Chains A and B, each alone.
Chain A
């Protein structure tokens, strides 16, 4: 994502909706992709994107230009997506418990998911599904945005060593999955 000019931000904070729309058009791709990779469904990613831009709209007045707008946006986007994913995982656990109580629902295939994504996309989802939301956020910030460890730490509001250990655990998990796949294909 490219940095957004100060003038455009100033116009948006003065209530200019055209300026705010311009910010949305430039940043929504990044926010949506990040959200989608963390929450893992289109519907939830849209909800997160909407929340992020409403938060930005409410808080533009308090943005002091001390940090870059990009870093500020990263932080809001990552935290909103992580909170959503954590909330959703608690709900999903409960939903899964309910589903397993009803044998009729177990056989229902999730057709919409398969239509929604292609094969590569599906593989990526499978990989990201192995990780917890914090690890997913680190991988996505590193691989999509190409942020360095310090940038990831600032966006997540954590220590740089926490970033190292989350990336390491995430990659170890992915390698273990890769080895399992190789073993199953070899059989």
Chain B
């Protein structure tokens, strides 16, 4: 609650109604391309932290339904990549194939490879729990464990995976600081997580993912259930995190993609399986899209 009021001035900037207007008219001074070019793009390999992730010819099925077709995409270490596209284009499915959450659907099937640090995460004999420790995930809806306190939530990953950490107090503070939540919750670590606001809960979920020190963080529309103020805080958090790890974010909000990501990939389904249409540095994708369909989408002509 508190953060919304503090950030009152930010609200007007990221008001959803205003965004829609801007998407329709790409001639406004603050066009997506401008927003994107304001960022200084990070070149791949400039940061030693985190591992790169590479998808090689990934297909996904649900039963006999082909949901995703032949996606090959690199996520260089230490960069932020956003996946954009209209609903049902398979971007969330793609995200879930990247840390093997796809296989929870009983009829799911897959082809292709996903390489983490050069090794296929689907190779036989791979311990799936270890893969998910290295590739964290933040979900659409904040989902802290309600039976645990704020502090326990942050450290829950260690408990779940039975990892011993020498100094959990420091780790707790570090994760909450990196998630931008420390100052708000440092005095109430023993309260239950449900006492937090939606935006705080989502940042708590981010802190929770950080505690197991993943190399890659996947975010599935992390702000779609949040108000603009909280969205701003999460975007800030993402920018901070990008210094140390690889981030892949699925978003419906093109403004957000322009604000936070170094690279963008556009997926589209024409009724059949979703396909990768174009991927490029974000400023390029929004200013000089190469594909007609990308241009239509980013200028708001459809989708």
Q: Do chains A and B stick together as partners? A: no
